[in-house]
Amino acid sequence: MADILGKTKDKGKLFFKKVKKAEKALKKRVKKLSRKQIIFIIFLIFFLLAGGDWLTKGGADILKRIRFTGSAKFTSREFTIHKDQKNLEPASLEELILGPLLKGGERQATIGERLGVGSKSHSVSSEGDLQAAINEASDYDVIYLNRGVYSVNLFINKKLRIIGQGEGTILKAAKEKNAIIKVRDAGLGLEDVVLADSYIGLDAGSAEIFISNSRFRNIAATAMYAKDSQLEFKNNVIDSCGEAIKALRSSGSIRNSVIISSAKSGIRLIKSNFTIEYNKIANNKSYGIYVDEDSEAQIRYNYIKDNEGYNVRIQKTRDIYK
């Protein structure tokens, strides 16, 4: 111990000898500076030199290992982000749909299938009155849409299932600033339709929503907005919209879908809990996926690439995937 103290004392003396020497040299060159200013400058120089030496010897690796994970309530946050995605990009939506979803255990009924168990079905053409058919339907009925373009602002406050005929069944907003479909305190299963060329696609509040095999395109503000709702979103495409999916105080899953070319984020979670897996999320102008500090997410096996903000931004952690 005495040896250590002696060595430390000697090093201290040597350091202060160097400081005094540097002080004298600096005084000769800069006469206007006070003694305190000169000593401060010298200490700053020594500090910078020592810091540089520490960084070059690997000290900076400690910084790389520091993680700010926030509170223990985020234990279900789970991320699998593929870094080498060269062979992971799906060739088509069909490849996504027919791939991972068929793996695993026994298949459970979706929200949409649970909604469509009523005794009645209704058929509506684009020349008919879809809102009137919704008003006349009972809970759990199914409404079938023929091919055609439907100019509507639908309001749904019951539990229904609406099924179209794919690309040929197109829903647009009659009043531009209103949502194409608004659902409140209810449930909706929506399948095989296109929501297009409007300001807001589907606006759900306090609702159960199931969307499958459908497409959102050219929706200026938000394609799918869920507030205080449960959302099952699978086998869909969102292309060239403002913000693709925004969820507030909601939960559910986003699976086997393509979310591309949004003017803002692909998926934005606020105070929400979602499983996000087997999707292609690419070329969005802001984040691919944004998870705020009060949200939880299970992000697995996605192709997430070329989003202009970050591919994935998880608040309250240092998990930023560029």
One DSSP character per residue, 108-144 reads: PPPHHHHH--SS-EEEE-TTS-HHHHHHHPPTTEEEE
Closest CA to 254 of 264, 269, 239: 269
Residue 272 tokens, joined: 């929400």
How do 169-173 and 159-163 pair as beta strands? unpaired
pLDDT band, residue 267 (cuts 50/70/90)? very high
As a whole number of angstroms, the distance between CA 202 and CA 181 comes to 5
| Per-residue pLDDT reduced to its tens digit, 100-122 | 433 333 445 566 666 666 668 99
Residue 72 tokens, joined: 């223990």
**C-beta separation of 275 from 295 below 8 A:** no
> Of all helices (H) and strands (E), which one includes residue 2?
helix 2-29
Mean pLDDT for 212-224 is 96
As a whole number of angstroms, the distance between CA 144 and CA 121 comes to 7
Mean pLDDT for 234-250 is 96
Tell me the pTM.
0.70
**Greater pLDDT, 295 or 85:** 295
Residue 304 tokens, joined: 């997430």
One-letter amino acid for residue 7 of the chain: K
**C-beta separation of 205 from 229 below 8 A:** yes
Task: State the helix-helix crossing angle for 35-54 and 2-29, rounded to 10 degrees.
Answer: 120
**Greater pLDDT, 130 or 32:** 130
Burial of residue 195, with CB atoms counted within 10 A of its CB: 0-12 exposed, 13-18 middle, 19 or more buried: buried
For the ranges 6-15, 21-30, 95-104, 216-225, which has the lowest average pLDDT?
Answer: 95-104
Report the pLDDT value the prediction gives residue 40, as an integer from 0 to 100.
Answer: 72
58: alpha, beta or left, given left = phi > 0 and alpha = psi -120 to 50? Answer: left
For the ranges 92-96, 185-189, 223-227, 315-319, which has the lowest average pLDDT?
Answer: 92-96
> Of all helices (H) and strands (E), which one includes residue 200?
strand 194-205
Closest CA to 162 of 185, 183, 184: 183
As a whole number of angstroms, the distance between CA 130 and CA 123 comes to 9
Secondary structure of the chain: what % helix, strand, coil (to 5)? 25, 40, 35
pLDDT of 273 above 50: yes
Burial of residue 105, with CB atoms counted within 10 A of its CB: 0-12 exposed, 13-18 middle, 19 or more buried: exposed
pLDDT band, residue 98 (cuts 50/70/90)? very low
**C-beta separation of 293 from 271 below 8 A:** no
pLDDT band, residue 298 (cuts 50/70/90)? confident
- Sequence-distant (6+) residues with CB within 8 A of 320 are 310, 312, 313, 314
Report the pLDDT value the prediction gives residue 7, as an integer from 0 to 100.
Answer: 52
Domain ranges of the chain: 2-65, 70-101+235-322, 114-232
**Greater pLDDT, 223 or 279:** 223
pLDDT band, residue 277 (cuts 50/70/90)? confident
As a whole number of angstroms, the distance between CA 111 and CA 277 comes to 18
How do 251-255 and 273-277 pair as beta strands? parallel
Q: What is the DSSP letter of 73?
A: G
| Per-residue pLDDT reduced to its tens digit, 122-146 | 999 999 999 999 999 999 999 999 9
